[in-house]
Amino acid sequence: MSRLELLTPEGLRIDGRRANELRRITAKTSVFSKADGSAYIEQGNTKCLAAVYGPREGRFRQQMQSDLALLNVEFNVAPFSTSERKKRTKNDKRSLEMATFIKQTFEPVILRRQLPRSQIDIYLQIFQHDGGVLQCCINAATMALIDAGIPMIDYVCACSAGCIDKVPVLDLNNVEESSDTPELTVAVLPRTGKVNLVEMESRLHIEKLQSVTELASQGCMQVHKVLDSVIRENTEYLRDRMNA
Amino acid sequence: MTTLESNNNNNNSKSFEVFHRIQPHEYLRRFLEHDIRPDGRLLDKFRKTLITTGSIATANSSAMVRLGGTTVVCGIKAEVCEPHVEQPGQGYLVPNVELSPMCSPKFRAGPPPEKAQVTSEFIHQLFTNSDLFPLESLCIEQGKAVWVLYADIVCLNYDGNILDASLLALTAALSKLKLPKAEVSESMMVEADVSNPTQVFEMKRIPIASTFCVFQDPHALLSDPNEAEETLGKEMVTVVMDTQGQVCHVYKNGGHSIDTQVLKTCFERGMERTKEMATLIQEA
């Protein structure tokens, strides 16, 4: 069985990146008219769309809380997004797990006390799956929430990192994820540097944990720069149109 | 003086919005009396249409269509399976339209909404009944293996007329579909040369759907209704025509009765639209 060389001796990965290089990020906000806020992100070949509706009246009256806004996240993978067609139902355990991660990531960041008795819905859709889905979703959700004007403490920027042949690498793609590469996803609040989410399902030697986590955090800062520039550009455009 | 005037103007624009909210029928009627629609279109104008193909690399073929605000993505994945016993030489096309809560606040989470199921079935019937492309071309080996094309159509933003947009996306994706050459080996395994997809899918005729909304008071026929017009309209008529000038499918679900003259207008407008869209698909 031939083993793919994920990291050549010269330090190049399968797609030609170096160990600490992020994939190219393209981001756009306000892509749809019906949603209160929307964003589209491409990280390498992973394409993710986020739509935010809210704050709006909740669906179930009994679940409404008198002092907080309720956050509801739905995660959906399009059947044509993976190399083998997999029609995942919405209530699939994996999808629910992802949705819960994202919900728990954003609950402390959104200033929910300012919007009591309401519901904020975040819908995430993956169009192309090439690794780094959780980080892509978190980044897209952040941009969509900002686009919807929902008050938050800070951006939430996420990045994944792993360890190939004892070398920490940043932002794994699908091929690297499917081989036995340990993968760690970290979501960070850039202004304070505080970590919001850490997710790892594989085995990683404890001595490597520190360096991989640090690398991921640095990746988050780079992601933050990109997202912030897109948001600022959009806001300037809006401001110019308003003043015109 | 100027502040007073601008205050008045503000009040006027606010009262427009209030009127639109509390009396949507009357609001639309006032526009229709002057042969124009609230978004500025003439009654027979379709919204600006954009088609992009090939954006999804994991799908065998993909297309994204923007019909005004309605945005739809279609991804086609081809798999191999055994053919139906009664049709051993035919493959399948399985369309599936998804209308999730993401695209509009109208749709709630849960089982697929009625509209999605109706649209999926419409497209399925269209391809099965009219001879748009021969399902025999999907056959790998008679009785043993055929291609099944799963067409997943995901709506991203819903602003009316999902039917036209879905069919357009599916047709555009099919026109760019390339399947690998496959053959059944002795061990009953199907081998396909995935690295070199050469078999271009031939669409004999390109079907284009045109949907119209019928209003009774005043008598008006609106092409390509947006969401607001759809909810207010008395009746929807869809006409599917192909580039050779033939009618593939007419759909009017029996709500309100309409004039034959109105139906004729539908066909005429449908023909124009078909010609425009066919060129757009070929250029995409």
pLDDT tens digits, B64-86: 999 999 999 999 998 888 888 88
Lowest mean pLDDT among A99-108, A137-146, A180-189, B200-209: B200-209
**Interface contacts (A, B; CB < 8 Å):** 84
Mention every residue, 6+ apart, whose C-beta is less than 8 A from residue B180: B192, B193, B194, B195, B196, B197, B198, B199
Q: Please give the mean pLDDT across all residues of chain B.
A: 85
pLDDT at B130: 76
Give the residue-averaged pLDDT of B244-252.
Answer: 87
| Contact call for B101 and A121, based on CB within 8 A | yes
Which string of DSSP letters, residue by residue, matches B154-192? Answer: EEEE--S-HHHHHHHHHHHHHHT-EEEEEEE-TTS-EEE
Distance of CA B20 to the CA centre of its chain: 28
Given a cut of 80, whether residue B228 has pLDDT beyond it is yes
Lowest mean pLDDT among A18-32, A72-86, A150-164, B5-19: B5-19
A33 inside 8 A of chain B by CB: yes
Question: What local confidence, expressed as pLDDT, does residue B7 receive?
Answer: 55
Please list every residue in chain B whose beta carbon sits closer than 8 Å to the beta carbon of residue A123: 100-102
More confident of the two residues B278 and A88: B278
Q: What is the pTM of this model?
A: 0.88
pLDDT at A18: 87
Mean pLDDT of all residues in A202-220: 90
Residue of B nearest to A123 (CA): B102
Q: Which residues of A are less than 8 Å from B158 in CB distance?
A: 34
End-to-end Cα separation, chain A, in angstroms:
64
- Domains in chain B (CATH in brackets) are 49-283 (3.30.230.70)
- The reply to whether A79 touches chain B by the CB within 8 Å rule is yes
Q: Do A51 and B103 touch (CB under 8 A)?
A: yes
Q: How confident is the model at residue A227, as a pLDDT?
A: 95
CB contact under 8 A, A35 and B56: no
In this predicted structure, what is the pLDDT of residue B1? Answer: 47
